[in-house]
Amino acid sequence: MAETSATEERLTLTLPDGSTREVPAGTTGREVAESIGPGLARAALVAEVDGRVVDLDAPLTDSGAFRVHTFDSDEGQEVFWHSTAHLTAQAVKRLFPGAKLAIGPPVEQGYYYDIDFGEPISSEDFEKIEAEMERIVEEDLKIHRATMPLEEARRFFEEMDETYKVRILEDLKADEEVALTEDEEVSLYTQGEWTDLCRGPHVPSTGYLKAFKLTQLAGAYWRGDPDNEQLQRVYGISFPMASQLESHLQRIEEAKKRDHRRIGREMDLFSFQEEGPGFPFWHPNGTILFNTVSDYIRGKLEERGYHEIRTPLILSEELWHKSGHWDHYRENMYFTEIDEKGYAVKPMNCPGACLIYASDLRSYRDLPLRMAEMGTVHRHELSGVLHGLTRVRSFTQDDAHHYCTPDQVEAESATIVELIREVYSDFGFEDYRVELSTRPEKYAGTIDMWDRAEEQLTAVLDQSGLEYTVNEGEGAFYGPKIDFHIRDSIGRSWQLGTVQVDYSMPEAFDLEYVGSDGERHRPVMIHRAIFGSVERFLAILIEHYAGDFPLWLAPRQTVVIPVGESHRDYARQTAERLREGGLRVEVDDRDEKVGYKIREAETGRVPYMLVVGDREEEAGSVSVRRRKEGDIGTMTVEAFLELAQKERDSYS
């Protein structure tokens, strides 16, 4: 530790476990980390005091909450990735001295650096750059921070011909909000022979950046403006350990293989056409999948006393004024005109459900009233963000609205949470995260209503035994909500189900029920979805299973393959029997080799291939191949049917 003297200023640091530590001012974050434990000191990348992230070797000047960031925190990752952007830039400058550097921020997964190479490079140059980065890591150069007046820094970068850095500095002066003067200081980071303009912080030395990979080269414009200079964006990713990089690259590879757009083509499930940008076309196989999932959910709703409704796609503009969508959601809506009156295509199903509720006088005996709708909605998205089935302009929600008394919110929410858990488990999602979001600053209704609803939702979650986190102040303006995030088979997280209490819409639509006291009361409305968007859910399912659906979901379940022309009749008879037994079955009687047909069925992800020739015909049997497993033996048609039915009915 730094030498202490009696007069020296002392800092009080509060550690994450709540304990406090007194250290002399000027002690570094690294020294504090060492005093906590050698393991932490080894993993430490940067320190944080009082909400400010600083270099590990920077002398501490303030008291406050103290923590050390390792690669396990978002802050640690950002610093690690941004430091690797510097590493990349230094290697580039060694290899391409004329290259001019623009900006190099961390992104969600890794980092990039925008560079003007003069003469554009190709990704074939990556190997060379990576080799130089390797050398710089071995040199283990210390990364120093220094400050200098803005004008001095401007001259420094001008001399190096780093024109983009000069422009960044000039902008700092010109920008009304920042408005630095020439004498105000900016910070620079130096490693070895190379210096960058940077706010920091950074890892202590280049030796920390053990495992990295340049992943992609893309075009970019200075300041994102197509009128400006065209730059090249070098993307990369890095980790403290080689094994982490390895598994990351494997995950990316795996995700590519599972891409639902590719599998969707191979299984002939859906397509997008120029004539309807962002509007999915469901092909026959995809429609089977869509209907199977819809029928499944309908079965669940019937058991639980839901009433299914259907409401129009196009509704008057006035309705959307009333619902608040006009004020808050107009940008994402499509409009049209009928008989010179304005109409809108519905972006949500709730107002339609409210009109049905209001179509009759409701009594407390009718509540809770559960109305479900497989409702197709249209929402405008910019063309740049459209992505397969996960970001579309038209999709179907497995929507439902529960109308209930304020006392029933808890019981209703509990049945919804139970239903959501049951459904996710049937689809093989056992790992999920639950979040409860509470009253935001701007809210509808009264504080009493909110407190009560939050209490009720908390009780539901506590009794469910689910672990959950609370997002204070993150609720919708109309009520608190519970969100479900599932984790798929390769570890990605997706937000799906939602339970949202709403006080606002019943008010807006003047919904009422007659209570046991004979007076009129306002019902509470609970919006809920389990899949969210069926389209997006199917995309997630396709990637989760990599197209190898459990039998009940597989659009094509069985294909019967006759060995020769003479076996076609037997193949058709077999198919007929299986169809009667409720299986989806087709006969591939094209003039192709058996091996070819098997390969094609494998690509199409058909779980069962039944080959029939002389022997099978004589014995009334089928020779069964299971996708990916191969031959699983010969059995009678009846035995196969029984086996397949059992598998189909087991949801797994």
Q: Which residue lies nearer to Zn ion by CB, 350 or 416?
A: 350
- 416 is an interface residue for Zn ion by CB under 5 A: no
Q: Return d(Cα 198, Cα 193) in angstroms, integer.
A: 16
Please confirm whether the linkage preceding 59 is cis (ω < 30° from 0): no
Active site residue 86: no
Q: What minimum distance in Å lies between the beta carbon of 521 and Zn ion? A: 21
Q: What minimum distance in Å lies between the beta carbon of 312 and Zn ion? A: 16
Cα–Cα distances (Å) from 347 to 72, 186, 343, 483, in that order, read 39, 48, 12, 20
State the binding string over 525-544 for Zn ion (x if CB under 5 A, else -).
--x-----------------
Angle at 10 between CA 6 and CA 14, to 5 degrees: 150
- 103 is an interface residue for Zn ion by CB under 5 A: no
Going by C-beta distance under 8 Å and a sequence separation of 6 or more, which residues neighbour residue 16? 65, 67
Of 93, 346, 370, 379, the active-site residue reads 379
Q: Which one of the spans 153-161, 175-183, 191-199, 552-560 is the region binding Zn ion (CB under 5 A)?
A: 191-199
Q: Which one of the spans 349-357, 380-388, 461-469, 541-549 is the region binding Zn ion (CB under 5 A)?
A: 349-357
Residue 94 φ/ψ, nearest 5 degrees? -70, -40
- 198 is an interface residue for Zn ion by CB under 5 A: yes
Going by C-beta distance under 8 Å and a sequence separation of 6 or more, which residues neighbour residue 21? 12, 13, 15, 32, 35, 66
Q: Return d(Cα 49, Cα 66) in angstroms, integer.
A: 5
Of 248, 346, 439, 527, the active-site residue reads 527
Q: What minimum distance in Å lies between the beta carbon of 451 and Zn ion? A: 23
Torsion of Cα atoms, 147 then 150 then 151 then 155, to 10°: 60
Active site residue 350: yes
Of 77, 397, 408, 500, the active-site residue reads 397
Please give the residues from 275 up to 334 whose contact with Zn ion meets the rule CB under 5 A.
none
Active site residue 399: yes
86 and 115 Cβ atoms separated by less than 8 Å: no
Q: Which residue lies nearer to Zn ion by CB, 191 or 574?
A: 191
State the number of CA atoms in the 13 A half-sphere of 609 facing the CB.
26
The one-letter amino acid at 435: E
Cα–Cα distances (Å) from 314 to 126, 307, 529, in that order, read 53, 22, 21
Active site residue 481: yes
Q: What minimum distance in Å lies between the beta carbon of 309 and Zn ion? A: 12
Of 30, 69, 481, 605, the active-site residue reads 481
Count of residues engaged in binding Zn ion, rule: CB under 5 A:
3
Q: Which of 449, 426, 440, 447 is nearest to 475 (CA)?
A: 440
60 and 47 Cβ atoms separated by less than 8 Å: yes
The H helix count followed by the E strand count for the chain is: 20, 33
Q: Return d(Cα 249, Cα 124) in angstroms, integer.
A: 18
Please give the residues from 490 up to 529 whose contact with Zn ion meets the rule CB under 5 A.
527
Q: What minimum distance in Å lies between the beta carbon of 299 and Zn ion? A: 22
Active site residue 198: no
- 369 is an interface residue for Zn ion by CB under 5 A: no
Q: Which residue lies nearer to Zn ion by CB, 54 or 263?
A: 54
254 and 383 Cβ atoms separated by less than 8 Å: no
Longest distance between any two alpha carbons in the chain, whole Å: 103
Going by C-beta distance under 8 Å and a sequence separation of 6 or more, which residues neighbour residue 554? 584, 605, 606, 607
Q: Which residue lies nearer to Zn ion by CB, 196 or 317?
A: 196
Q: Which residue lies nearer to Zn ion by CB, 165 or 597?
A: 165
Q: What minimum distance in Å lies between the beta carbon of 528 and Zn ion? A: 8
Sign (positive or negative) of CA dihedral 122, 123, 128, 134: positive
Q: What minimum distance in Å lies between the beta carbon of 219 and Zn ion? A: 23
Q: Which residue lies nearer to Zn ion by CB, 195 or 408?
A: 195
Q: Which residue lies nearer to Zn ion by CB, 168 or 198?
A: 198
Q: What minimum distance in Å lies between the beta carbon of 529 and Zn ion? A: 8
- 350 is an interface residue for Zn ion by CB under 5 A: yes
Of 401, 439, 536, 556, the active-site residue reads 401
Q: Which residue lies nearer to Zn ion by CB, 102 or 198?
A: 198
Of 57, 196, 399, 488, the active-site residue reads 399
Residues annotated as part of the active site:
350, 379, 397, 399, 401, 481, 527
Point out which residues bind Zn ion (CB under 5 A): 198, 350, 527
